[in-house]
């Protein structure tokens, strides 16, 4: 069916404008003036005056956990949460699932499980761990978007970290076929030298993962990129003190990019009560002044993009009874909430939805080479988000679509409501607690997208 979507406000390219978006066969075929005539027989959709049309968001950092830990999260629940949050494409991380995606066989297992379950489009990262150098190019040829490694203990014995020499060797291999290495940049030896966290004091947990652990790891990654020419991406940067390192690497012309997350841009350590393990994540949420410096890093382009790092678990693994930060699982679930969280904070600092779309759709799509999404543009997949930026809501965990109702944003008021999400030119219907009888998401390959 041919569809014409009319919006008084839309983010098109680097501007906000009124327009009529003409969609056919799942693609945007024209962007016209708001009052232009619709093609004969077209379905017409007119957005309300308080609604904006945005491209569907692209979240390149999501832990789905299926198979193996589906009780933590799964493809059905994660992709429904994505759709409810205006996210039309996710890229799944290689760990927390069993098996980890460190060879082609494991990738095929994950793809088989995901097929027929996904409400939005899903791509996959591969993993770089000790001993799997020979698996990297076959995984690349099988369509993963790059490879994730840790430089410190991941929290899972089945996904060990690389040391500095192993990381550089992986970079050499990945550079040889033009791939991408994405890095959890905390330095293992630095963390090992700290007193381990134990008990309910958030400050003890925060001090156990000091900023220098990030800056040392970031420096190692940049040096490796300098040695090998490998394209590298710093994951979930929380330490604003590392920003000058990233800025200098970019000025040098090195192929280095970096991301941060909604929790680092909205939360701050001074407000976290002892025992509030909802807030535990690695690297940790730092001070308010650090948060403001991260916003400046986004504004000046040092930080490229914002992703959720959606990392759910069973409620009991958060150790709410004891509030022990040493024992609690580290991870924050925010896939459904990322857009309103970021918008709530961005608008306070003078940023527009053009900026938010660039950080959460355009640049994330660019990171993984998804040239046909992340923007409202002719030829792109008609993946769209209808967003009411001046509406608001209160977060009630039981109303979220991810599998376990755990979030540090409980009972917070957020600005901006996602009223509709479109995938390939058709609206998605997401009902809380219900299974989509015919999910329409596609499994994506680096070589062959939708």
Asked if 404 contacts 313 with a C-beta cutoff of 8 angstroms, the reply is yes
Same domain, 146 and 26: no
Q: Characterize the bridge pairing of strands 426-427 and 57-62.
A: unpaired
Instruction: Say yes or no: 226 and 317 in one domain.
Output: yes
324 part of a folded domain: yes
**Is the pLDDT at 447 greater than 80, yes or no?**
no
* Residue 446 is assigned to a structural domain of this protein: no
Query: Tens digit of pLDDT for each residue in 367-404?
Result: 999 999 999 999 999 999 999 999 999 999 999 999 99
**With bands split at pLDDT 50, 70 and 90, how would you rate the model's confidence at 153?**
very high
pLDDT of residue 449: 59
Contact criterion met (CB below 8 Å) for 355 and 103 = no
Residues 279 and 398 in one domain: yes
Whole-number Cα distances in Å, 114 to 67, 146, 311, 441: 9, 19, 17, 10
User: Cα 414 vs. chain centroid, distance in angstroms?
Assistant: 19
pLDDT of 97: 97
Whether 447 is covered by a domain: the verdict is: no
Given this model, what pLDDT does residue 130 score?
Answer: 98
Same domain, 257 and 304: yes
Q: What is the pLDDT of residue 398?
A: 93
Is 157 within a domain?
A: yes
Is residue 229 predicted with pLDDT exceeding 90? Answer: yes
Residue 410 counted as domain residue? yes
pLDDT greater than 90 at residue 430: no
Q: How confident is the model at residue 436 (pLDDT cuts 50, 70, 90)?
A: low
Q: Which pLDDT value is given to residue 321?
A: 96
Question: Is residue 336 domain-shared with residue 396, that is, in the same domain?
Answer: yes
The mean pLDDT of 302-324, rounded to a whole number, is: 97
pLDDT tier, 66 (very low <50, low <70, confident <90, very high otherwise)? very high
Measured distance CA(386)–CA(168) in Å, rounded: 43
Give yes or no: residues 14 and 144 share one domain. Answer: no
Position 1 scores a pLDDT of: 76
* One domain, residues 26 and 124: no
Lowest mean pLDDT, pick from 100-109, 169-178, 441-450: 441-450
For residue range 403-421, what is the model confidence (pLDDT) as tens digits? 999 999 999 999 999 999 9
Render pLDDT for 158-211 as a digit per residue (tens, 0 to 9). 999 999 999 999 999 999 999 999 999 999 999 999 999 999 999 999 999 999
Domain count, the chain: 2
Q: Is residue 430 part of a domain?
A: no
- State whether 300 and 171 are in the same domain: yes
Share of the chain above pLDDT 70, in %: 98
Strand, coil or helix: 96: coil
On whether both 89 and 235 belong to a single domain, the answer is yes
Compute the mean pLDDT over every residue in the chain, rounded to the nearest whole number.
Answer: 96
Sheet containing 126-127: which strands, arranged edge to edge?
126-127, 147-150, 180-184, 231-234, 256-260, 305-306
Its domain, for residue 95, covers: 56-370+390-414
Where do the H-state alpha helices sit in 118-201? 133-141, 164-176, 188-192
SS3 150: strand
Residue 39 lies in a domain: yes
318-347, pLDDT tens digit by residue? 999 999 999 999 999 999 999 999 999 999
Residues 79 and 113 in one domain: yes
Which residue, 89, 88, 81, 97, is CA-closest to 148?
97
Residue 433 domain-assigned (yes or no): no
Of 320, 329, 210, nearest to 276 by C-alpha is 320
* Same-domain pairing of 8 and 65: no
Specify which residues 43 forms β-bridges with.
Answer: 3
Phi, psi of 226 (to 5 degrees): -65, -40
One domain, residues 183 and 37:
no
Residue 182 and residue 233 in contact, taking contact as beta carbons nearer than 8 Å: yes
Place of tokens 């906000």: 16
Closest by alpha carbon to 365, among 137, 15, 55, 28?
55
Say which CATH number the domain at 151 has. Answer: 3.20.20.140
Q: How far apart are CA 407 and CA 413, in angstroms?
A: 13
């Amino acid at each position: 069916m041919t569809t014409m979507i009319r919006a008084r406000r839309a983010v098109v390219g680097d501007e906000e404008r009124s327009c009529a978006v003409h969609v056919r066969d799942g693609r945007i075929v024209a962007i016209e003036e708001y009052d232009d005539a619709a093609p004969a027989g077209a379905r017409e959709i007119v957005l309300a005056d308080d609604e904006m049309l945005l491209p569907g968001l692209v979240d390149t950092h999501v832990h789905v956990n299926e198979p193996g830990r589906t009780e933590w999260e799964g493809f059905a629940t994660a992709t429904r949460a994505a759709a409810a949050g205006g996210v039309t494409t996710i890229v799944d991380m290689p760990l927390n699932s069993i098996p980890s995606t460190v060879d082609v066989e494991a990738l095929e297992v994950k793809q088989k499980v995901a097929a027929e379950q996904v409400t939005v489009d899903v791509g996959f990262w591969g993993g770089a761990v000790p001993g799997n150098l020979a698996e990297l190019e076959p995984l690349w040829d099988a369509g993963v978007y790059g490879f994730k490694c840790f430089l410190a203990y991941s929290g899972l014995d089945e996904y060990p970290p690389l040391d500095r020499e192993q990381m550089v060797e992986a970079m050499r291999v990945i550079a040889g076929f033009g791939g991408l290495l994405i890095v959890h940049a905390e330095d293992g030896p630095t963390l090992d030298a700290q007193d381990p966290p134990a008990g309910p004091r958030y400050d003890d947990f925060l001090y156990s993962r000091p900023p220098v652990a990030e800056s040392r790891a970031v420096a190692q990654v940049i040096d490796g990129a300098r040695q090998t020419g490998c394209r590298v991406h710093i994951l979930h940067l929380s330490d604003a003190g590392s920003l000058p390192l990233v800025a200098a690497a970019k000025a040098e012309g090195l192929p280095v990019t970096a991301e941060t997350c909604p929790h680092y841009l909205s939360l701050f350590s001074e407000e976290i009560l002892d025992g509030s393990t909802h807030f535990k994540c690695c690297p940790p949420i730092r001070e308010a002044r650090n948060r403001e410096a991260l916003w400046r890093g986004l504004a000046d382009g040092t930080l490229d993009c914002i992703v959720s790092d959606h990392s759910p678990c069973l409620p009991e693994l958060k150790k709410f009874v004891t509030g022990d930060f040493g024992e609690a699982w580290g991870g924050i679930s925010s896939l459904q909430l990322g857009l309103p969280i970021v918008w709530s904070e961005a608008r306070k600092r003078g940023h527009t939805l053009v900026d938010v779309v660039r950080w959460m759709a355009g640049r994330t799509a660019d990171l993984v080479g998804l040239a046909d999404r992340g923007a409202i543009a002719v030829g792109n997949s008609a993946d769209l988000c209808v967003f009411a930026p001046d509406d608001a809501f209160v977060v009630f965990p039981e109303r979220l679509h991810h599998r376990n109702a755990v979030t540090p944003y409980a009972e917070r008021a957020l600005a901006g409501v996602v009223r509709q999400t479109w995938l390939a030119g058709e609206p998605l219907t997401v009902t809380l607690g219900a299974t989509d009888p015919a999910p329409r998401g596609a499994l994506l390959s680096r070589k062959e997208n939708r």
